[in-house]
């Protein structure tokens, strides 16, 4: 059961959406889907996840980066309707994994995903996102050129956040991320780097699907076998990331969410949220590592904060002006915050190895950790034809196989 709302909970909940907002809308912007629909499906998906997991796990679900390339290619090859149908079908992977965990019990995870595998996978999740964070600090449009003004704003946002983390007292100690965002926004405003054109162009109230149907970014999904077979294998990667994220939040909060409410429930919740999100025209959902970093930073591991963030996301999907204000936040402001949050995810992975006393002088453990890190961070890819595994998903699978195949020391 979730505890009663306190005075600052709304601010903390809004902060969680601020943390997720940049990545949440980036995926639809890159793939041609509608950002407002993505906001709605992120909020709805998070509420569905909480319902299935009995409101026990403090995670936020939103747009998955793993599906960016499949969506882009899928729309070109199969069209929007078939691609959305294929994305919705990806939920079957989660459901099958959920059933296996339910039948075999927690021993499945203990056997296939010990700390020597999950620790480096958690590290990869954070480190793999490092280029995304750094890229957001370089300029204002996501390009390759470095803008010194953008770097200054990003570093200022980062510095304020770190200062509040170290020295903040009272309410400020609970909202370091929001402090960093507001401070960076004010500096960008003073330097003339904030454009209010999105606010001017937007309406006060809008229904996302109306515009999406008009511009072709949403069509009613159809279930085409070719599109399903093309997209379905991709779900293996975010499913493994999901396990890493649940382990990460478990490590940070010192609660074993793998056992309570159970990994089978979290996998099922993520899968159902993904299916519904895709059916409604949003990107597939995944648990957000940056929000895990945020709750670890403020040390408030309460699912009710994610409920608040979810309702904010749903409201922003319909309140055009309010959503447009968030879109005016310059990219470097968010980039400075992400530098800290993604680094914290990697640090949690290191902490997992230390806390479980994984012997890194053991050659077997060294091999497993080394291969996972290089495959994951280096974006190693293996596959045949349309079936491809790469990056974090491949690294996790290879780690599991190495753990099973390499002989253990007596």
Q: How does pLDDT run across 272-326, given as a tens digit for each residue?
A: 999 999 999 999 998 877 787 778 777 778 888 899 999 999 988 887 776 677 6
The whole-number pLDDT of residue 111 equals: 75
The whole-number pLDDT of residue 1 equals: 46
Least confident of 1-15, 213-227, 280-294, 313-327: 1-15
Instruction: Tell which phi-psi region holds residue 385, choosing left (phi > 0), alpha (psi between -120 and 50) or beta.
Output: left
Residue 114 has pLDDT above 50, yes or no: yes
pTM above 0.75, yes or no: no
């Amino acid at each position: 059961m979730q505890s009663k709302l306190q005075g600052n909970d709304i601010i903390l909940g809004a902060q969680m959406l601020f943390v997720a907002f940049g990545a949440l809308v980036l995926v639809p912007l890159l793939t041609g889907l509608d950002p407002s629909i993505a906001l709605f499906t992120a909020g709805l998906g998070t509420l569905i996840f909480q319902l299935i997991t009995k409101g026990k796990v403090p995670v936020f679900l939103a747009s998955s980066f793993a599906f960016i390339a499949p969506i882009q290619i899928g729309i070109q090859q199969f069209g929007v309707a078939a691609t959305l149908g294929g994305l919705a079908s990806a939920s079957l992977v989660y459901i099958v994994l959920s059933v296996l965990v339910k039948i075999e019990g927690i021993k499945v995870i203990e056997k296939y995903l010990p700390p020597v595998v999950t620790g480096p996978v958690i590290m990869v999740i954070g480190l793999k996102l490092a280029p995304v964070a750094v890229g957001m600090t370089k300029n204002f449009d996501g390009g390759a050129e470095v803008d010194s003004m953008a770097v200054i704003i990003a570093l200022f946002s980062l510095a304020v956040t770190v200062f509040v983390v170290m020295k903040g007292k009272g309410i400020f100690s609970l909202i370091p991320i929001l402090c960093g965002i507001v401070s960076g926004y004010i500096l960008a405003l003073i330097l003339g780097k904030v454009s209010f054109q999105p606010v001017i162009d937007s309406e006060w109230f809008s229904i996302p699907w109306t515009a999406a149907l008009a511009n072709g970014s949403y069509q009613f999904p159809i279930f085409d076998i070719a599109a399903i077979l093309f997209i379905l294998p991709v779900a293996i990667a975010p499913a493994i990331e999901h396990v890493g994220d649940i382990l990460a939040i478990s490590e940070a909060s010192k609660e074993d969410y793998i056992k309570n409410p159970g990994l089978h429930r979290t996998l099922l919740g993520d899968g159902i949220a993904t299916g519904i999100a895709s059916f409604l025209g949003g990107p597939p959902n995944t648990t957000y590592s940056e929000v895990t970093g945020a709750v670890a930073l403020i040390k408030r591991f309460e699912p009710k904060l994610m409920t608040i963030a979810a309702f904010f996301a749903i409201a922003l999907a319909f309140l055009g002006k309010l959503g447009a204000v968030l879109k005016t936040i310059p990219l470097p402001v968010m980039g400075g915050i992400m530098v800290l949050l993604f680094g914290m995810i990697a640090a949690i992975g290191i902490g997992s190895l230390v806390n479980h006393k994984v012997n890194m002088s053991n050659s077997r453990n060294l091999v497993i950790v080394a291969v996972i890190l290089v495959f994951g961070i280096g974006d190693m890819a293996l596959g045949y034809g349309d079936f491809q595994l790469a990056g974090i998903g491949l690294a996790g699978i290879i780690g599991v196989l190495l753990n099973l195949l390499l002989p253990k020391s007596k």
